[in-house]
Amino acid sequence: MNQIKIIAGYFLKVTLRSKALAAIYIVWLLLVLFAAFTGYRTYADRNALLTSFQQQARQSWEANPDKHPHRMAHFGSFAFRLKHPLSMFDYGMESYTGNAVFLEAHRQNTVNFSEAGFSTGLLRFGEISLSMLIQVILPLILFFLGFNAISQQRENGTLKILLSQGAGFRALIWGNSLGLMLIALLFLLPVVLAAALQLACTTLPADSFVSLRSICLAFFFLAYLWLVSTVAICISAGSGDSRASLLKLLGIWLLMAIVLPKTLQAIGSALHPAPGKIEFDTAVEKEVLQIGDSHNPDDPHFKHLKDSVLKANHVDSVQQLPFNYSGFQMREGERLSAEVYNNRLQQLYNVYEQQNNISCYATFINPLLGIKNISMALSGTDFNSYRHFQNAAEVYRYNLAQTMNELQMKYIGNVKTAHDKPQIIGKEHWTGFPDFHYSYQSMASVTAQQTLAVIAMFGWFILSFVLIYFTAANAKAI
């Protein structure tokens, strides 16, 4: 342990004296400041705007006068997806998934108004977030600072002197890895402070579990940086010279950060092609029409339904029913169309899941994919978070439509006469309907969704220690 401490202290001392480190650290601080500021402004402005829109949608809903409840079902409402506080740290898929959906009867609309839909093609090059700096930029910096930690000593002959004095390769690798990890913590410190400042300037929702999510993020990022540090030192120890070490590390970085992610996305899309929006909507509409059209009085399915309802209530016509039959028919039509849509949507989700599974399983060959998936999930910016919002919005839409249909059944008469029930009802029936409120996913759900990535990261962490002992056993002084 004394040897490891001395070697780690020497590595830290030499690296801190480097003029290159000072320049790199200044650039790093500027990038952190830029990412923190843009992340906070995007979060604050977007949530303020979406909250305002949600309030306007609610005011518009409550401002409707007394009218027929089915008109209110078609008037509809909006659901807006507020950003999770940790989205300031990791943007994830937020720029591509949209944040607003119009909710109306008999139709399930997609979530629209994504940032990508309003931006230029430059968005495909990525966005600078605090998470992206740690995942992609910091490993490159650590590779640059650690590529010659041991290989340079082999080149100038000091490695043989160290070995002759009793310092083995295991101590050299451990000491330099700890030293490089301390440098990584030096770079991580301003990121932590920036993220803490972001959260301190924000009102945190009670269901966001920011503290627990942040602790988990810190744990996984520390494991990731330790892996990067050990890989850099082990490659340096196993290379004949510094040039070969640097080329190997740059190749690993390019493979991890650029080649594998893009290649796996292309493979997933090729193996499991997903239908486009027009194709999906056409398939849903075609299947609904095959089952039955609730707006068509001559539709065979609903004609049979009417006969069954009349027989069950022992009456000869819908005018004799104790409830509004049109509302009953609309309720049944809503149930059928929602069932068809949800089944088709689940099939689409299965295709997306098959595509994503390729990247998920690839976390066992690329730790960057693992830490990226975990970071997005804990920050509430992954695809599962988007699906959670979409499902919540659909549940709200369905309840809204069916509530209006049930109001029609209860308060609207089957015959329009002066002595019958009026064809309109009071506005208090829909002003009392609750507004849409989105709740973030629980930590249990997030953990269950990322089980594979968590297992992979634990495996990589254990493998880092195996790599140290394997490299130490096979390293040579010359």
- pLDDT of 377-393, one tens digit each? 999 999 999 999 999 99
The one-letter amino acid at 341:
Y
**Does residue 179 have a pLDDT over 90?**
yes
**Does residue 171 have a pLDDT over 60?**
yes
Q: Distance between CA atoms of 456 and 435, rounded to whole angstroms?
A: 41
Structure tokens at 259: 């080649």
**Does residue 122 have a pLDDT over 50?**
no
Structure tokens at 98: 């949209």
Q: Distance between CA atoms of 129 and 36, rounded to whole angstroms?
A: 7
**Does residue 291 have a pLDDT over 50?**
yes
**Structure confidence by residue, pLDDT tens digits, 256-286:** 999 999 899 889 889 899 888 888 888 888 8
Task: Give the range among 50-59, 164-173, 312-321 with minimum mean pLDDT.
Answer: 164-173
Structure tokens at 109: 């609309």
**Does residue 120 have a pLDDT over 50?**
no
pLDDT given for residue 289 in this prediction: 82
Other beta carbons within 10 angstroms of residue 357's beta carbon come to 13
pTM, 2 dp: 0.89
Tell me, letter by letter, the H, E, C secondary structure of 137-173: HHHHHHHHHHCCCCHHHHHHCHHHHHHHCCCCHHHHH
Q: How many CA atoms lie within 13 A of 367 on its CB side?
A: 24
What is the residue range of 137's domain?
A: 2-474
Give the three-state DSSP class for 9: helix
pLDDT given for residue 395 in this prediction: 94
- State the average pLDDT over residues 411-434: 78
> Which residue in 444, 25, 473, 382 sits closest to 216, CA to CA?
444
Angle, helices 451-474 vs 325-361, to 10°: value is 0
**Structure confidence by residue, pLDDT tens digits, 334-385:** 998 899 999 998 998 899 889 888 989 999 999 999 999 999 999 999 999 9
Is residue 439 within 8 Å of residue 392, measured between CB atoms?
A: yes
Q: Distance between CA atoms of 349 and 257, rounded to whole angstroms?
A: 26
Q: Distance between CA atoms of 156 and 269, rounded to whole angstroms?
A: 50
Structure tokens at 446: 């997030």
Number of domains observed in the structure of the chain: 1
Identify which has the larger pLDDT, 414 or 87: 87
| Strands annotated E in 191-281 | none
pLDDT given for residue 274 in this prediction: 87
In whole numbers, what is the pLDDT of the chain averaged over residues? Answer: 88
Identify which has the larger pLDDT, 420 or 86: 86
pLDDT given for residue 223 in this prediction: 96
pLDDT given for residue 154 in this prediction: 80
